[in-house]
Chains A and B, each alone.
Chain A
């Protein structure tokens, strides 16, 4: 998943970002609210937002995003542990609320839970015709047989699954794969899509001419 991490504490931000990357996520880390606001138009799968930031309130930002109709799942990570705070956080648009200190493994588990909710699966397995995708194990099966996919191929598939039924533009798909500063060769995305079709079947990923790609579960 492509994640925006908004955390001002260097040690925590650095540790979390690295941990999440090792877990296979694409992480863009901002230490200031202003930086996060500058990238809020970009496609993200989940926003990880601290409440108290040097230049503003993460909660206010979440509220403004929801008012604008942004439906991206948001996890609030904060030191504020009062019941009132937790209620306020969830009522103002956060999908999950994690009180510091927490184990990074717990955050990863919560991200998986959010992902399941997003793709509408009660468990970690999603079906696309004869293809079965295990979101937790990051594994893909065709007619029950395990199919090996590369990390980038997995990211493409996961990004499309996150938005199942919707058309994802080429630019968004590239951003979801790479995050900030990532670069692909001009036809790299098409190469990954082509390989996935070869491995999983041509029907799995649909091309919507002039608009992008779509997966239907």
Chain B
């Protein structure tokens, strides 16, 4: 069977794709929101810090060495925020520990200055002499904070997305469970068996499928019932006249003089052969490919086959589960073929292989040439029986195939050889 797309794999693929897209979208939205909010928070912090500092410096201005140009003493540490007091003539009169000795803003500007490539600066006029208080954060520090926020957001979104993907994948598998259950039930559903219940649809979407299967099963059951009825009628219509023919010929043989006995005997043999063929055809037709296997010993089975005029020698034995009626029909037709082509003896042997039992029949008839053997063999292998063989080989092959085996022609030194394989159960 060729590969067909898998619903489960398709759903998994879609779930993963949707989860990743969802993660990216969530990341984008969250990142956009966080980026703006972070800027606001940082700006607000800077502004608040400036205003607090302003108040502190104003309140304690007399006690502090403002105008010294020095910096506020502090232990060694990494400052994320710096400040400066810059006089009207652009001189840094006092600053925090890590603040540069140069003014943070090139020109005095109240509130935000964006001219520094290194600093994000907020300025407040400090006195009426043009002194400005600048509070600043390094751009790098802000970018670092933004990057950390972005990474955390991305990781969070990805984690949530993957978790959702795993969960959705499992969920999709679980939702496909009823479909698998339905398949299982359909596999065991036999519309003709009284105890076999139709499959159940445990999901609304499966109801049409279930209804279609039950409908199909009903139609098939109806067809098979009709065919069986036809088969039974055909059996009666064919078997009874054949029995009548046999009885009349038997009577004729009793009443006739000796000189016509051989001719009547041939007529009886033809009638018997016709009976066997009809019986075999009816068995095969009625079976419809279904078999009723029973355990049999092949050697005794073959020796019990009624076929006058043919010496059957059996070598070895094997036991196998087969439909005895069908196997008898197949073997009788093969043996009948041998008789028709002039054979008087058939050697039957058995061979057990890994998964089959092989019945080998070799007669002492004229056989077929290599070209014919290959042609018939190819027709048997492809089941194109129409032109290359008679009913016997076709019927035997059908029976073998119904048992999981097949019929093959084998090369033999003398006569005609076939091997009929039957699958082991």
Which A residues fall within an 8 A CB radius of B? 9-16, 18-19, 22, 52, 77, 79-83, 99-105
Contacts and interface: CB of A to CB of B under 8 A. Distances in A.
B224 interface: no
Contact of B246 (A10, A22, A102): A102
Contacts of B244: 9-13, 15
A9 B246 CA distance: 13
Given A79-B235, A79-B236, A80-B235, A105 B242 contact: no
Given A22-B254, A80-B232, A101-B275, A15 B239 contact: no
Contacts of A11: 241, 244-245, 247-248
B248 A15 contact: yes
B254 A12 contact: no
Contacts of A18: 251
A100 to B, nearest CB: 4
A138 B378 CA distance: 58
B2 interface: no
Contact of A100 (B242, B286, B325): B242
Nearest to B240: A9
B381 interface: no
B306 to A, nearest CB: 9
A29 to B, nearest CB: 12
A104 B239 contact: no
B240 A79 contact: yes
Interface residues of B, number: 27
B110 to A, nearest CB: 109
A80 B236 CA distance: 7
Contacts of B251: 15, 18-19, 22, 104
26 contacts: A11-B241, A11-B245, A12-B240, A13-B244, A14-B248, A15-B244, A22-B251, A79-B236, A79-B239, A79-B243, A80-B235, A81-B325, A100-B240, A100-B242, A101-B240, A101-B245, A101-B246, A101-B275, A101-B278, A101-B279, A102-B243, A103-B246, A104-B246, A104-B247, A104-B251, A105-B250
B218 interface: no
Residue from B243, B246, B292 with most neighbouring chain A CB atoms (10 Å)? B243
Interface string B243-269: 111111011001100000000000000
A209 to B, nearest CB: 43
B250 to A, nearest CB: 4
Nearest to B292: A83
A76 to B, nearest CB: 13
Given A80-B232, A83-B292, A101 B250 contact: no
B243 A12 contact: yes
Contact of B239 (A10, A14, A16, A100): A100
B40 to A, nearest CB: 89
6 shortest interchain CB distances as A-B pairs: A15-B247, A11-B244, A12-B244, A79-B239, A101-B242, A100-B243
Contacts of A103: 246, 250, 272
Contacts of A9: 240-241, 243-244
A81 B243 CA distance: 14
A19 B254 CA distance: 8
B247 to A, nearest CB: 3
Nearest to A85: B232
Contacts of B245: 11, 101
A13 B246 CA distance: 11
A15 B250 CA distance: 8
A81 B279 CA distance: 9
A101 B271 CA distance: 10
A105 B243 CA distance: 12
A45 B241 CA distance: 27
Contacts of A12: 240-241, 243-244, 247
B290 to A, nearest CB: 13
A19 B282 CA distance: 28
A104 B248 CA distance: 9
